[in-house]
Amino acid sequence: MRATLIATLSAAGFLILAGCQTTPEDQQAAAAGVEDRSKPGAGKPGAQAQPVERPKIAAVDVTSGRKDAASALKDPASILSKRNIYFEYDKFDVKEEYRPVVEAHAKYLRENPNARMLIQGSADERGSREYNVALGQRRSDNVKKVLMLLGAREAQVESVSLGEEKPACSEHNEECWAKNRRGEMLYSGEF
């Protein structure tokens, strides 16, 4: 039953994946890129230099494109720098407000097939340590499910739990506990 459900969700994920790979935005972005490169030559004199420079510029674009994607993970201005999903008490669903963050990371994983992600789920300090490991796992599993529905592959994502062992905040109050009920998305080299 559970296996069937996961299979269904995965299938849905692949459909979305297939859909996402040919999104109009992507096509527009690609078209815009081509257009940009041709603009200087088209709009200005000295267009004869263009055939020589063009392949070189294209190569630089590809490299800088990759660099941009990786550095976007750390760039505070990029949504990809956001890694934490916070959860309500005794709740495990990824709230609507975190949808854009998870979607951005799913897109990154789709576009970077070699990227690997570890999702560490956490619980607040109340109660049994081992039960809290299970609660943190339920949170990270749910983040993983959403990522996979959005096209990330199973081999790219591992969901684990830190239970209550690595609190982001160490006070014993609700404000702190809310910060500790989280799922944190980390890429290779970050954990």
Partner 1 sequence: MTFLPKEMRFLLGVVLCLAAASAGAQLSIEITGAGAQRTPIAVVPFTGEQGVGTSLTAIVRADLERSGLFRGLEVPALSPHPNENSPVSYGEWRSRLADALVVGSVAMSADGRYEVRFRVYDIVKQAPLGAIAYLFTKDNARAAAHRIADFVYEKLTGEKGVFSTQIAYVVKRGTTYELQIADADGERSQYLLRANEPIISPVWSPEGRRIAYVSFESKKPVVYVHHLSENKRQVVASFKGSNSAPAWSPDGKTIAVVLSVEGGSQIYLINSDGSGPRRRISNSPSIDTEPRYSTDGKWLYFTSDRGGSPQIYRMSATGGEPQRVTFRGSYNVSPRPSPDGRVLAYVTRDGGKFQVALLDLSNQQVQVITDSDRDESPSFAPNGRMILLATVRGGRGVLSAVSSDGRIRQNLPYSGGDVREPAWGPFNE
The span of 46-54, 55-63, 66-74, 135-143 binding partner 1 (CB under 8 A) equals 135-143
**Other Cβ atoms within 10 Å of 15 Cβ, number:** 12
Binding mask 80-119 for partner 1 (x = CB under 8 A): --------------------------------------x-
Q: Are 140 and 120 in contact (CB under 8 A)?
A: yes
Q: Taking CB under 8 A as the rule, does residue 161 contact partner 1?
A: yes
Site for partner 1 contains 159 (CB under 8 A): yes
CB closer to partner 1, 107 vs 163 = 163
* For the chain, the helix, strand and coil percentages under 3-state DSSP, each to the nearest 5: 60, 10, 30
Q: Smaller CB distance to partner 1: residue 15 or 131?
A: 131
Copy the structure tokens of residue 163. 């239970």
Name the residue nearer to partner 1 (CB basis): 120 or 180. 120
Report which of 175, 170, 187, 169 is spatially closest to residue 81, judged by C-alpha positions.
Answer: 187
Measured torsion, CA atoms of residues 127, 92, 86, 112, in degrees rounded to the nearest 10 = 130
The residues of the shown chain that bind partner 1, judged by CB under 8 A, are 1-2, 6, 118, 120, 126-131, 133-138, 141, 158-163, 165-166, 191
